[in-house]
């Protein structure tokens, strides 16, 4: 018995090792935005032990990007007010996000109804226990289209 069990434990440990520390961790956030300027989540949780975080955005409405554009921007909560103000200044040509702004930790494309967009970024851009917010940077949306991004170990 002992010789049968030991190899399986070793195999299990080896699988844990090769799959990284992300087993059971939240590495993906699935968000939906609609024509009523709402996200489906007010809060999301990810784990800093993931290799990468994936944020998926689906626009479930019908309105075009110019009228009801949505994206998902992740930033430190104290940066959100300044970043969303500068996003409006950046204008439609820049997808309502200042290009190369270091306050943007990650951002999806700005999309319209029926479209989807994703972004992946290294999980170590986030710190466990840090204060992060996800929001839409389309003009006038950040006030309601936002939520807390909680980061666990
Ligand atoms: Zn929006």
How would residue 25 be classed by pLDDT, with cut points 50, 70 and 90? confident
Residues of the chain above pLDDT 90, percent: 84
CA of 136 to the centre of ligand 1 (A): 5
Q: How far is the CA of 52 from the centre of ligand 1 (A)?
A: 24
User: Shortest CA distance to 73 belongs to which of 121, 6, 115?
Assistant: 121
> Which residues, at least 6 apart from 2, have a Cβ–Cβ distance to it below 8 Å?
none
Is the model's pLDDT at 14 over the cut of 50?
no
Grade residue 9 by pLDDT with cuts at 50, 70 and 90.
Answer: very low
What is residue 24's predicted lDDT score, i.e. its pLDDT? Answer: 66
Q: Ligand 1 center to residue 153 CA distance, Å?
A: 30
Distance between Cα 71 and ligand 1 center (Å): 6
Query: Between residues 18 and 48, which one has the greater pLDDT?
Result: 48
Contact between 82 and 31 under an 8 Å Cβ cutoff? The reply is no
The closest alpha carbon to 143, from 104, 62, 87, 98, belongs to 87
Average pLDDT of the chain, as a whole number: 90
69 CA to middle of ligand 1, Å? 5
User: What is the distance in A from the centroid of ligand 1 to the CA of 82?
Assistant: 17
The closest alpha carbon to 113, from 73, 57, 74, 72, belongs to: 57
């Amino acid at each position: 018995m002992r010789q049968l069990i030991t190899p399986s434990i070793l195999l299990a440990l080896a699988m844990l090792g090769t799959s990284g520390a992300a087993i059971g961790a939240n590495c993906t956030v699935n968000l939906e935005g609609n024509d009523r300027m709402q996200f489906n989540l007010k809060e999301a949780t990810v784990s800093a032990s993931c290799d990468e975080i994936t944020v998926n955005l689906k626009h479930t409405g019908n309105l075009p990007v110019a009228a009801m554009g949505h994206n998902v921007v992740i930033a430190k909560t104290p940066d959100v007010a300044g970043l969303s103000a500068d996003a409006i200044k950046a204008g439609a040509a820049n997808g309502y996000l200042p290009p190369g702004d270091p306050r943007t930790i990650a951002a999806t494309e700005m999309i319209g109804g029926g479209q989807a967009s994703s972004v992946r970024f290294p999980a170590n851009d986030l710190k466990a226990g840090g204060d992060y917010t996800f929001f839409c940077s389309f003009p006038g949306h950040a006030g309601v289209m936002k939520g807390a991004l909680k980061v666990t170990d």
